Structure 1
Amino acid sequence: MPIHDDVLATLRTWEPPTWEQAALREAYVGLLLARPDACARTCTPGHITASTIVLDATGTRMLLTLHPRIGLWVQLGGHIEPEDGSLLAAALREATEESGIEGLVIDPEPVQLSVHPITCKNSPPTRHFDVRFVAWAPADAVAVRSEESRDLRWFYLDAPPEDFRPDTRELAHWAARRPRP
């Protein structure tokens, strides 16, 4: 199944936690129906991205990256690559690459949607239609910062950094309530 079809199927079967998230889901579905290239970073009106909030094995801390372009602490994630095969695979790949942690256990159901403006490298301003997941790290996990980050740290869910992206606060709220698969 092409990645576009997988993203569409994932969103159509997802049960959003709020009416605001349900409205966003409809906007994502509209983008996917209107744009066969909606999963490609070259889709300049906006494109689907995948991200993951990584929790520690106890579910009390979250791993955040200091994003080099926006200067805020956010969850791990990025663009969907053609070889990913699925939205879930893209989210897991990004989380693994950016955390350096092997053996993440990812919940297959999205936890949140968020649309935000951004300027991707060497591209005009666009929007990311981010589909967010939650994953848990193994008990002995050691995070290793990638080249895509200025910093990488664990923060307690109830004590996020001051320069924390506001929609990531909501993501942490919903992630904390997810049972580990």
Structure 2
Amino acid sequence: MTLYDDATLVLKAYAPGPGADEGQAELRQAYLDHLALHGDGMWKACGAGHLTASALVIDPEREKVLLTLHRKLRMWLQMGGHCEERDTTVEAAALREATEESGITGLTLLPGGPVRLDRHPIPSPCNWHLDVQYAALAPAGAAERISEESLELRWFGYEDVAGVADTSVVRLLEATRSRL
């Protein structure tokens, strides 16, 4: 099975959880339509946009989240990025990105598939990121390590996230908390 096939199956199975913001079902269909129209819709080279994978990292006590101050965007975000040829599943891409950007080994994704979807514009030539968002639990004793993609990594209490991050991260946190 290809990553494209896996993404299609993941999106077909995606069901927004209780309390999900409106528009998740429509966004799911927009992602599926995008893949149907673009055989290269998983890859950065797709000019119409491409799927990305991310994960919100949660501390073992489930009281804080680890955010990265993105080097290029200069925004506090969850860990995530582009799918790569070596990724066999969207879930594996999200876990790889979270591990690389947090420096934490032993992360485990919350069961149940993606937590939510988020589409956001990016500069040309790509135009759109169609992000498939997961949540990952850090193991006890986890120590983060900054990557070259970050200016800083920091743990934030749930109540502090809205003060530093945009609404997409806040919505991801809300959807994640409903699964914990």
Alignment TM-score, normalising by the size of structure 1: 0.93
The residue correspondences of 1:24-103 to structure 2 (distance < 5 A) are 24-103=27-106
Cα deviation code 1:13-54 (max 9, x no counterpart): 111134410110000000011111000100011100000000
Distance in structure 1 (CA, Å) of the matches to 2:28 and 2:75: 25
SS at match of 1:82: coil
Unaligned runs of 5+ in 2: none
Q: Please tell me the residue identity of whatever aligns with 1:9.
A: L
Name the counterpart of 1:13: 13
The offset of 1:161, in angstroms, is 6.0
CA distance in 2: counterparts of 1:89 and 1:81, whole angstroms: 10
Count of residue correspondences: 176
Residues 127 and 143 (structure 1 numbering): CA distance in 2 closer, same or farther, change over 3 Å? same
Alpha-carbon distance in structure 2 between the residues aligned to 1:146 and 1:162: 24
Kept after mapping to 2: 8 A contact 1:155/1:161: no
Paired residue for 1:110? 114
Distance between the aligned counterparts of 1:145 and 1:104, measured in 2? 16
SS of the residue 2:67 aligns to: strand
Deviation at 1:162, TM superposition (A): 2.9
- Cα root mean square deviation, aligned: 1.3
- Rounded to whole Å, the distance in 1 between the matches of 2:12 and 2:91 is 14
* TM-score normalised to structure 2 length: 0.94
Which runs of no fewer than 5 residues in structure 1 stay unpaired?
none
1:175 corresponds to 2:176 = yes
Which region of structure 1 is more displaced relative to structure 2, 86-95 or 11-20?
A: 11-20
The 3-state SS of whatever aligns with 2:29 is: helix
Deviation at 1:124, TM superposition (A): 2.2
- Residue aligned with 1:65, SS: strand
Residue 22 (str. 1) matches residue 47 (str. 2)? no
- AA aligned opposite 1:25: R
